[in-house]
Amino acid sequence: MAGIVVVFDFDKTIIDLDSDNWVVDELGATDLFNQLLPTMPWNSVMDRMMKELHEQGKTIKDIEEVLKRAPIIPRVVSAIKAAHALGCDLKIVSDANLFYIETILNHLGIYDCFTEINTNPGYVDEEGKLRIRPYHDFHTSSHGCSCNVCPPNMCKGLIIERIQASLAKEGKKRMIYLGDGGGDFCPSLKLKEQDFVMPRKDFPVWKLINENRDLIRAEIHGWSDGEEQEHILLQIIKAITVEENPFLSVDCKFQTIPINAVHETLPKALPVPS
């Protein structure tokens, strides 16, 4: 199963809300955020909000405590631990920021499950203020994506292409991509026929994929909640393993997963794409 790469979005795929909105709302800055949003790109607004919150006396500790309270999608932690235990290479591609993501993953005890985090830089400056920068510097150039969905600060499709190029060198050949937002449509277009895309049902990426199914080469498996996400993800991993290792006793392999990481009994068949 070393040939399987699982790529997670973060907001509304691992945590069950938008992390930017959560921090702003919990720290009582919603009105200011709404005033600023029409005047500049989202990523720039968040950097400005961190400056404003700092000036109001909010500390990095305050932000960390808010992040640790963020609602998590049920069973996503066990799904991540199970996929990691099965030898999958787990990565994150997210339009959140590194400070938020690392804080939450460490709090959940799953930071070490991931080999790579691709997101907007987020760091504490010398004044003790959180700074948030764009992944792609749209102030100097455009990332050049033509799908008309990606925000100016991040094209996840370009990130997936880079990951695909590195995986080819490593001999890894199957990718599973999980996401929910409009920005997850572009990377879905980059997936190949042997890959799988898991869009969250009734979220923007689900609508875009359903409107453009002829453009999607990967196998599509929608999910609605954490239990369904876990079930489908592990079934895909199991199906790939059976296909590529027909003489391997995959049930024995799955039974080695810790009981707190995944249900012991898994259905035999891969779900029909929704």
Task: Catalogue the active-site residues.
Answer: 9, 11
Rg of the chain over Cα atoms, rounded to whole angstroms, equals 19
pLDDT, position 29: 96
Residue 184 assigned as binding residue: no
pLDDT, position 227: 97
pLDDT, position 194: 94
- How far from the centroid of its chain's Cα atoms is residue 170's Cα? 22
**Stretch 190-198: mean pLDDT, rounded?**
97
- Residue 215's CB is within 10 A of a number of other CB atoms, namely 12
Comparison of pLDDT for 231 and 3, the residue scoring more? 231
Residue 47 assigned as binding residue: no
Q: Is pLDDT above 50 for 238?
A: yes
Q: Which pTM does this prediction carry?
A: 0.88
Residue 20 assigned as binding residue: yes
pLDDT tens-place string over residues 11-39: 999 999 999 999 999 999 999 999 999 99
**Stretch 178-183: mean pLDDT, rounded?**
97
Set out the domains of the chain in order of their start, with CATH numbers: 4-245 (3.40.50.1000)
Q: Give the integer Cα–Cα distance in Å for 54 and 61.
A: 11
Q: How confident is the model at residue 262 (pLDDT cuts 50, 70, 90)?
A: very low
pLDDT tens-place string over residues 146-169: 677 888 889 999 999 999 998 888
Average pLDDT for the chain: 88
Q: How confident is the model at residue 247 (pLDDT cuts 50, 70, 90)?
A: low
pLDDT, position 142: 60
